[in-house]
Structure 1
Amino acid sequence: MSDDNKSNDGENKRVERPPRREQTYVKYDVEKLEEAIERRDASVVHEEFGGPDGLMALFKSNAERGIDRASVEHRREQFGMNELKKKEPATFLEFFIEALSDQVIIILICAATVSIIFGMTLENPHTHEVDREKGWIEGTAIFISVLVVTLVGSISNYKKAKKFEEMEAEQSIKSVRAFRDGIEIDLDTRELVPGDIYKIDSGVALTCDCVTIKPQSLRMNESAITGEPDLIEKSNEGNCLLISGTCVEEGDAIVMVVAIGMDSLQGILKGSLDQEKEPTPLEEHLEELAGQIGYFGGFAALILIIALSIKEIILIETRDSKSWTPVPFLSFFLIAVALVAVAIPEGLPLAVTIALAFSMQAMMKDNCMVRVLASCETMGAATAVCSDKTGTLTQNLMTVVQGLLGEHEFMYQGVGLDLRDVSVQEVQFKDTEANPAVLGVSEPIRELYAQAIALNSTAKEVEREGKKVWTGNKTEMGMLKFFVHLGRDYEKIRETAPPHYSYPFSSAKKRMTSLVKESAEADCTTALLYTKGASETILADCKKMFDKDGNVVELTEQTRAHYDAIIVDMAKQGNRTIGIARAEKSVALPTDGSSEFPKDDPTDETELVWIGVVGIQDPMREEVPAAVKACNSAGLTVRMVTGDNIHTARAIATKCGFYEENGFDLAMTGPEFRHMSEHDRPALMELLPRLRVLARSSPSDKHVLVGLLQDQGEVVAVTGDGTNDAPALKLADVGFAMNTGTDIAKGASAMVLLDDNFASVVNAIRWGRAVNDNIKKFLQFQLAINVGGVFLTIVGSLASETSKEPFTPVQLLWLNMIMDTLAALSLATETPEDACLTRKPVYKQAPLITNRMRVFIGGHALFQVVIILLLLFLGHRWFETIDDPDRCAGVNPNDTATLAHCELVCKEVGGHMDGRFCQQGRVHSTMVFNIYILFQVFNVVNGRKIYGEMNPLEGCLTRSRSLVIIFALIGLLQALAVQFAGDFMSVTGLTGREWGICIGFGALEIIVGIIVRFIPVEDHVPEEIVEREAKHAQLYKDLTEAHQAKLMMCDSATSPTFPVEEPPKKPASNEPIA
């Protein structure tokens, strides 16, 4: 048994599997196959099943045709769906029980129970009588309030869970290319059944256990299962087992499914272990803040209950001892508990949930799928974007527009068009004497190009839904489309060619290579080598070239320099340049029987002959310049990290708008970047603020760049699509994977760009900032209520002659309910404003509550406390409040009988007469309570602005449509409560005049909001950030002025760049960098 066929971590213990399914269609030794998969021991497959071919026969499958469609249902009945069992989502009842478990809710329930008992059995301290008719009302009202609060919270959490469950389901959808009945189809991975034949390639993460059928240089990353970082090579003869949860790191293959869903190893090990969602950083920060506010509320409640109790004891001493009753102390306890409920901003978690869920849903519509919840918050603070070029800044529509083949240069005029629809005569060659029928290229050169491209590429046309479409690498598509115009049939060449083998494109070596046997004979031991890749790299490796007639001649230095100039000229026009070459001599194949072709790409040990170069244009996306401009306005630095050469990269960057020949912006090549990061990092750190283009870079360069930027305090967003981009995507503060990218890249990312478009990154920035802004809006609004409510309750209760609190516990719970929930809903769902992209990002250490927010909280809380206290002690005179208007309105001061009746009525509702008016009676208290609620209603409008904007109504009807609805809904609910709740909320219906007074007072909040905005406020920015920005601004000024001076001295000037062709070397101290 070879080491390759064994588990590299010793004998594994058998894991507990679910009951085995009845073998109704496919019959095989289940236990033996399970053993092979669990131990990752391919020898069992070979010894017990006859290798992949034997398993294919057992599973009634075929390497070319796949399975029969008619058998799919039988297989599904036996094996089920390819899905992992998930933890059952919490039911609404579970959310309701969880809400009832809150400590404050439990205390309120207990207090309400005691209130009902005392109210029904003890004397009312105001009337000195047991009131069995109404003594139960306050306790019952608290019960109802608690029920409503818990129901609202439970419904919100339940809906949130459902929404996130739906989004997770959308994210889990993946598709593969499978074969059924000999037809290649797109198939959802959940639909895979054992026996299915499908394709995998670099970057794919397996969702089921498989065996190889046709592997090509296949190496798997099994670290998710084994913990070992080494890549595992796979082959039919050796280790043919592919385990679910592992990823294709290199190569590609056709594989067959052998175990799915909960029967796969991934299902057994992980399927039932659903991890709880971890809170996002903002949620943790807000939870900590809520805890601190809760302690403050608890301390304030303790002070209140102690102070009121002492005051009540002192008052008892001045009365007849018979007046003592525990009812007042129960009232103190109830108001203290209600005070805690108000002080704790339970609406904050709800606001975060609503803001994140709303933004995730909106971002999905903007082609950005959120995978990691915290990225919604982080993206709002991003300061740098490191973007790929191809497909992100450009359209990924590759078209050959010019080239050099066999010494013939040509230009093509149909930029951006599908070459299959363009006549061959539209390709014009500079060599006007060349025969246009053969495009000026000799037959031998055309044949060389045909072989080199057809056999060293994987792109092709396939039929889908009755139409032919191209699939595969976009660059190869462009070359093959042009290939058709040379009068060649690439499919026929591939079908008739001898056996051939491809080494996938290497981002490190910048090339792809294929070996083609020189004959189809079984004993053939030599092969031709074709390679294509980065033009300057391929040209540098060539010592000879094919002339126009296809003869091999020396590649002179003069010719090499001429070709270099052609490549640079192509690149400066923004074209991707692909060099093509063939080995001069045949490559020897292995003869020891270990494998048909060499395991490693033999190009480095081979002398190459230059065939030519093609320039491929990938048009820039039209929306990119505007998106880049938006990033610049938002304070984000855009950098391009690409594998293209520096001339192509600078041309595209200039068109996009984030690179200028101004003496400041810097373009660097990967080799120079690596040299400086290893040998002169301090100098590199000084250059990073200027870096805009990193060309001919490797994925490791991107990873290093992200880390260095983070070391400088940047919040970095990165785009990527390849497997090798995964480390950089994982390291970045926010990683954006392309929708067309690999499964590994998507798995490492925080968001997926569904349209692969850079403009969607800008949308993510807008929504990220909107999330943070919306939460801050609710935070300042809520804290104004909390701070004002606590001080108002304490001061009002202590200052009252009867120790009567300004608001009853039920009223405070009502305030807590409608403001926590409905206000959160209105403020947390505002869409981003245009101005959000004109502000600089918030620096990492910025406090959650800014100075401007503190002024808002303090200003509005102070206004509300002062006005409500004035209304408590003087409002009855201002409003002329009486509780029996029929008998007490305009009563004569000398009418002692009527005055006595009025005083009795006033006392029954908890008030006391002050002259002709009832202070803190039912009408007076109702108006004060109503005004306080209306303060909050109007303050919702003020709360929409957190940057000192003067017009609080701006955007109400466009970006905050829910505000109008919720504003009206809160007003309606308050009106119903005041007019009809009666004794349950200790209120009474108000007249039209009284409602007008209340609304007038409430509207004063808008005026106060405008006044508060005039208070000068400056948020503190750390000194190191101020110094760094000043230094960068001065450097920009100095370098751009020097560049302008140089332009004035010279007729023309170009920005110097790092050497492209020469080996990387450290520049001299006085050598210009860029």
Structure 2
Amino acid sequence: MHKKLNGLTAAEVEESRKKHGANSIPEAEPETFWQLFLEGFQDPMIRILCVIAVIMFGMFLVGESDWYEPVGTIIAILLVNFVSARTGVANDRAYRDLKASQKKDTVKVLRESVIKVIPADEVVVGDVILLQSGDKILADGILAEGALSVDNSALNGEAEECPKSEAPDGFAIPETITGDTFVDAHSLFRGATVLDGEGYMIVQKVGLDTMMGKMAKDMEDKEPDSPLKVKLNKLAGQISVFGYIGAIIIALAYFVHFVMLAGGLSAYLATGGLSILGDVMNAIAIAITIIVCAVPEGLPLVIALVLMQNTGKLLKVNVLVRKSIGIETAGSLNILFSDKTGTITKGQLEVVEFFDGCGRTTDINTAAAMREALHLSIGKNTGALFDDQHHVVGGNMTDQALLKFLGEEAFHALAARDDCEIGAQQDFNSANKFSQAYLPGQGRTFYKGAPERLLAKAKKCLDTQGNEVDIDETALGQKIDDLANRAMRVLAFGYSREKLVRDEIHDDLVLIGLVGIRDDVRPEAREAIEEVQKAGIQVVMITGDRRETAMAIAREANLYHGGDELVLTSAELAEMSDDEVKKIIPRIRVISRALPTDKSRMVRLCQEMNLVVGMTGDGVNDSPALKRADVGFAMGSGTEVAKEAGKLVILDDNFNSIKNAIWYGRTLYINILKFCKMQLVINLAAVFVSAISPFIGIESPLKVTHLLWINLCMDSLASLMFAGEPALKKYMRMKPRRRDESIISRPMAIQIVIMSIWLTILSLVWFKVPFFRACFATEAQWYTGFFCMFVFAFMVNAFNVRSDSLNVFEHIGENKRFIHIWLAIMAVQVLLVSIGGVIGEIFSCVRFGLDGWIAVCLMALTMYPVDLIRKVLTPKPKA
């Protein structure tokens, strides 16, 4: 160690901490239950419910409403916000528990000439940190002494070794960080990892002043509204217009009705002020009922419950939900920007292929002599080794990949053999492009190095039987070119029977074979990408790698097929205006040499095109784009800054898990649509019945308490039925939805209108056909029977909306909860009618006999055949 590196004294540490601060990067404060609870009042549906509650309370004060009507609505609002807030807190706690379970980072710091191990948060500017192979770099600084090879992939996405050398006196990290700054010869950044070597770093920036800290501050921007929130805003507006305009028109119609009954306007005015006031209050009461009927009060609660139910399902497929709305957003994606390293590829170099001197791919395990020679060439020409935890440590990334290919058992077996001791050795260097080791016990020198260096000397190669045969230079050249086109690094191995001579390869070299090394594509990612593309989602790989490497990986991952598809570099993007980029976005498949600004720019442009955008990433450089995207998929092995930015954390770093998140997101949205169809049928029918009934002499067939019971209590249970609906493969073949697309599509509207009209007809028949009145002993029983028929029809329609096919029991075995909850709801409805007392008074219900129940069931069951006819006569929704 150089004399100048003595480290700070205790006093200097305190002074530096006061001046520059600590090395901690404060994480975002978790939102409290009450913050999330109050945030719920921003929901458009909740706002409508609040207006209704205020109006109902006013009606109660003037004696036109019962106390339990406004109270029921207020309870509904509080219940929705409670469930939503509790889900948000639970998701955040799960993430923080995962984070807390991970071991805290420590550093080896030199203070007062003594090496001490301290928590990373206690590092200060001026500290001297000892860096060794495998260490994380946990502050920004410069290499003051030694030589290192570092991995900056967490910062720039490039899985490449970056050599670092001793900085000259006075060298400082540049204030402006660019993509080239990461790979300069002397600068070291928080988030990088030491691959090989040893050295001392002088800390120049800590905490929020580090490049990682600045990234964390950049993520304070407001997130875009989720697609579901956009759709709900639109639906709330439509329902508000329908409900309020409908209420005003019907209220005015009632005034006209009252005037006509009185014999004209003059006669009506002559009835007196009190009579007219009574009619006004009656008309307002009817209008309030219409508004209550129109608004799906249970929808916010349903969405909250369904999101809560699905967080557990996704955790089972390695997706940790940080923000519940991210689930549905994942299912709405139009375009997905995916990081390469660790997501599409495995995130580490490995030997992908071994081939002999004639260019033939060979299974090394079936060729004993070739295997023996290769093991010696790898095991005795490496700076890597296996530690006591069975991990490969030391050496560079290539050495580590080769040692994994060799295997721990073979490595230790070589170490135990007396005939494999090294007599002389020369390490790899950039000038020679090879390393060599002489083994006296073998009487041979073994080489590992660049193919062009070894092939310049080799004329013979080993075959699978261990014979030395002529090299097929043409076939071998074609094989090497092919692997190079696939972005593989090729290494050659050989031996000579001569003793080691420094910086030379002997002319009698025999080629053992060659290997192709690469950060290879995950097999499951290839299939998942294909499924996501079939789902109509454009996948774009965005990486820091050079164009040729990125293009080769994209081809093997089924991302890029040539033709009019584009592979662009960061520099090419920078030369284009925003409008020019927007025109070619549908054709882009790969962006190479990407900077963090490129990622954020692409997300912004796609959102301006009304596309729902997803972004995957694991590094600090990905964090701003993860935050800006509609849904950010942070990798579980990634930096904490990235995880803080994402809505979903992919625990296994696998593109297949991203595909599952998209699949479950689509399933969740489709299940919400099923519920919407079920509820809006009953709501629309309630509007029609409430509007028509007074004109034909039927007094308030549905009370406000009836509607609240249907829209809240029953719906909360019904939401659990649909939350368990299975994820079907056909959902991944449906086209993506636009951000501003209406929740209610044309086929959905047809189903809602037809079934609500049919339920309205059933209601009018119930009151106008004498047969149904005859099934009940009293008028109170008759009205109670109508309430039960209305609810039972609602529950029969639950089967209709499950599937677009004629078989309403399709896949019911995969959701047994549906049947259990359906039976429970029906039982609760029967009990509600049978209890009597205060409950009966609140819900205006009385007991009735068997004849009445038979009439109720027969009328409700007609919902099934009518919807079957609709399905046959109307076109199915397009996939």
2:2 aligned with 1:89? no
Task: Judge conservation of contact 1:283–1:352 (CA < 8 Å) in 2.
Answer: no
Q: Kindly state the Cα deviation for residue 461 of structure 1 after the two structures are TM-superposed.
A: 3.5
Q: Structure 2: how far apart are the matches of 1:650 and 1:882?
A: 77
If asked which structure has higher relative contact order (CA below 8 Å, sep 6+), I would say 2
Aligned residue for 2:807?
Answer: 951
Deviations 1:186-219 (A, max 9, x none): xxx998663698979999896x999999895889
Q: Structure 1: how far apart are the matches of 2:800 and 2:736?
A: 23
Q: Kindly state the Cα deviation for residue 851 of structure 1 after the two structures are TM-superposed.
A: 1.6
Q: Kindly state the Cα deviation for residue 157 of structure 1 after the two structures are TM-superposed.
A: 2.8
Q: Structure 2: how far apart are the matches of 1:547 and 1:682?
A: 56
Q: Give matches, 1:887-926, under 5 Å.
A: 921-926=779-784
Q: Structure 1: how far apart are the matches of 2:695 and 2:858?
A: 28
Q: Structure 2: how far apart are the matches of 1:96 and 1:712?
A: 29
Structure 2: where are the runs of 5+ without partners? 1-9, 111-116, 157-173, 417-422, 436-446, 461-470, 494-500, 504-510
Q: Kindly state the Cα deviation for residue 774 of structure 1 after the two structures are TM-superposed.
A: 1.8
Task: Judge conservation of contact 1:402–1:409 (CA < 8 Å) in 2.
Answer: no
Q: Kindly state the Cα deviation for residue 321 of structure 1 after the two structures are TM-superposed.
A: 6.6
Q: Kindly state the Cα deviation for residue 678 of structure 1 after the two structures are TM-superposed.
A: 7.5
Task: Judge conservation of contact 1:852–1:1018 (CA < 8 Å) in 2.
Answer: yes
CA 1:585/1:562 → structure 2, altered by over 3 Å: closer, same or farther?
Answer: farther
Aligned residue for 1:753?
Answer: 650
Q: Structure 1: how far apart are the matches of 2:546 and 2:843?
A: 72
Q: Give matches, 1:16-415, under 5 Å.
A: 30=14, 33-37=17-21, 85-90=29-34, 102-115=50-63, 139-146=66-73, 148-169=75-96, 172=99, 175=103, 178=106, 194=122, 229-230=177-178, 279-312=225-258, 315=261, 324=275, 329-370=280-321, 375-382=326-333, 388=340, 392=344, 398-399=350-351, 401-402=353-354, 413=363
Q: Kindly state the Cα deviation for residue 322 of structure 1 after the two structures are TM-superposed.
A: 11
Task: Judge conservation of contact 2:140–2:204 (CA < 8 Å) in 1.
Answer: yes
CA 1:162/1:93 → structure 2, altered by over 3 Å: closer, same or farther?
Answer: closer
Q: Kindly state the Cα deviation for residue 234 of structure 1 after the two structures are TM-superposed.
A: 10
Q: Structure 2: how far apart are the matches of 1:635 and 1:774?
A: 20
Task: Judge conservation of contact 2:50–2:77 (CA < 8 Å) in 1.
Answer: no
Task: Judge conservation of contact 2:610–2:740 (CA < 8 Å) in 1.
Answer: no
Aligned residue for 2:515?
Answer: 614
2:744 aligned with 1:849? yes
Q: Kindly state the Cα deviation for residue 283 of structure 1 after the two structures are TM-superposed.
A: 1.1
CA 1:962/1:614 → structure 2, altered by over 3 Å: closer, same or farther?
Answer: same
CA 1:734/1:840 → structure 2, altered by over 3 Å: closer, same or farther?
Answer: same
Q: Kindly state the Cα deviation for residue 290 of structure 1 after the two structures are TM-superposed.
A: 0.9
Q: Kindly state the Cα deviation for residue 230 of structure 1 after the two structures are TM-superposed.
A: 4.7
Aligned residue for 1:597?
Answer: none
Deviations 1:221-256 (A, max 9, x none): 89xxx9955589799x9999x8xxx76599999889
| Match 1:567 to one of 477, 480, 483 | 480
Task: Please state whether the residue corresponding to 1:90 is helix, strand or coil.
Answer: helix
Q: Percent identity?
A: 21
Q: Structure 2: how far apart are the matches of 1:843 and 1:84?
A: 31
Aligned residue for 1:45?
Answer: none
Deviations 1:739-764 (A, max 9, x none): 34455665666644322333323312
What is the aligned-residue RMSD (CA, Å)? 6.4
Task: Please state whether the residue corresponding to 1:463 is helix, strand or coil.
Answer: coil
Q: Kindly state the Cα deviation for residue 111 of structure 1 after the two structures are TM-superposed.
A: 1.9
Q: Structure 1: how far apart are the matches of 2:546 and 2:364?
A: 22
2:862 aligned with 1:993? no
Q: Kindly state the Cα deviation for residue 971 of structure 1 after the two structures are TM-superposed.
A: 1.8
CA 1:279/1:653 → structure 2, altered by over 3 Å: closer, same or farther?
Answer: closer
Task: Judge conservation of contact 1:411–1:429 (CA < 8 Å) in 2.
Answer: no
Aligned residue for 1:972?
Answer: 827
Task: Please state whether the residue corresponding to 1:937 is helix, strand or coil.
Answer: helix
Count residues in correspondence. 777
| Match 2:772 to one of 875, 878, 894 | 878
Task: Judge conservation of contact 1:338–1:813 (CA < 8 Å) in 2.
Answer: no
Task: Judge conservation of contact 1:293–1:343 (CA < 8 Å) in 2.
Answer: yes
Aligned residue for 1:762?
Answer: 659
Bigger Cα Rg: 1
| Match 1:788 to one of 685, 695, 714 | 685
Task: Judge conservation of contact 1:149–1:817 (CA < 8 Å) in 2.
Answer: yes
CA 1:840/1:961 → structure 2, altered by over 3 Å: closer, same or farther?
Answer: same
Q: Give matches, 1:558-707, under 5 Å.
A: 564-568=477-481, 576-579=488-491, 614-616=515-517, 623=524, 627=528, 630-631=531-532, 634-635=535-536, 698-699=593-594
Task: Judge conservation of contact 2:358–2:476 (CA < 8 Å) in 1.
Answer: no
Task: Judge conservation of contact 2:632–2:646 (CA < 8 Å) in 1.
Answer: yes
Aligned residue for 1:917?
Answer: none
Read off the aligned partner of 2:19 and give its amino acid letter: E
Task: Judge conservation of contact 1:297–1:339 (CA < 8 Å) in 2.
Answer: yes
Q: Structure 2: how far apart are the matches of 1:512 and 1:716?
A: 47
Deviations 1:404-434 (A, max 9, x none): 8xx999976357xxxxxxxxx966439xxxx
Q: Structure 2: how far apart are the matches of 1:513 and 1:986?
A: 94
Aligned residue for 1:463?
Answer: 388
Q: Structure 2: how far apart are the matches of 1:513 and 1:778?
A: 70
Give TM-score, length-normalised by structure 1: 0.57
Task: Judge conservation of contact 1:335–1:808 (CA < 8 Å) in 2.
Answer: no
CA 1:172/1:311 → structure 2, altered by over 3 Å: closer, same or farther?
Answer: farther
Task: Please state whether the residue corresponding to 1:865 is helix, strand or coil.
Answer: helix
Between 1:562-571 and 1:292-301, the stretch displaced more is 562-571
Structure 1: where are the runs of 5+ without partners? 1-25, 41-78, 119-137, 183-188, 416-424, 431-435, 491-495, 503-510, 517-529, 550-557, 587-609, 885-920, 1022-1074
Give TM-score, length-normalised by structure 2: 0.68
Q: Structure 1: how far apart are the matches of 2:625 and 2:80?
A: 39
Task: Please state whether the residue corresponding to 1:615 is helix, strand or coil.
Answer: strand
Task: Judge conservation of contact 1:376–1:764 (CA < 8 Å) in 2.
Answer: yes
Read off the aligned partner of 1:89 and give its amino acid letter: F
Aligned residue for 1:591?
Answer: none
Task: Judge conservation of contact 1:211–1:257 (CA < 8 Å) in 2.
Answer: yes
Task: Please state whether the residue corresponding to 2:827 is helix, strand or coil.
Answer: helix
Q: Structure 1: how far apart are the matches of 2:850 and 2:432?
A: 86
Task: Judge conservation of contact 1:699–1:725 (CA < 8 Å) in 2.
Answer: no
Q: Structure 1: how far apart are the matches of 2:312 and 2:756?
A: 35
Q: Structure 2: how far apart are the matches of 1:314 and 1:360?
A: 58
| Match 2:794 to one of 913, 936, 941 | 936
Q: Structure 1: how far apart are the matches of 2:587 and 2:66?
A: 68
2:370 aligned with 1:429? yes
Aligned residue for 1:1014?
Answer: 872
Task: Please state whether the residue corresponding to 2:874 is helix, strand or coil.
Answer: coil
Between 1:743-752 and 1:642-651, the stretch displaced more is 642-651
Q: Kindly state the Cα deviation for residue 297 of structure 1 after the two structures are TM-superposed.
A: 0.8
Task: Please state whether the residue corresponding to 2:489 is helix, strand or coil.
Answer: strand
Q: Structure 2: how far apart are the matches of 1:469 and 1:611?
A: 24
Deviations 1:338-376 (A, max 9, x none): 332332223333333334343343222111234565653
Q: Structure 1: how far apart are the matches of 2:41 and 2:587?
A: 57
Q: Kindly state the Cα deviation for residue 868 of structure 1 after the two structures are TM-superposed.
A: 0.9
Q: Kindly state the Cα deviation for residue 723 of structure 1 after the two structures are TM-superposed.
A: 6.2
Task: Please state whether the residue corresponding to 1:950 is helix, strand or coil.
Answer: coil
Read off the aligned partner of 1:777 and give its amino acid letter: K
Q: Structure 1: how far apart are the matches of 2:283 and 2:132?
A: 70
Q: Kindly state the Cα deviation for residue 814 of structure 1 after the two structures are TM-superposed.
A: 2.2
Q: Structure 2: how far apart are the matches of 1:283 and 1:810?
A: 28
Q: Structure 1: how far apart are the matches of 2:118 and 2:842?
A: 55
Read off the aligned partner of 1:772 and give its amino acid letter: Y
Q: Kindly state the Cα deviation for residue 861 of structure 1 after the two structures are TM-superposed.
A: 1.2
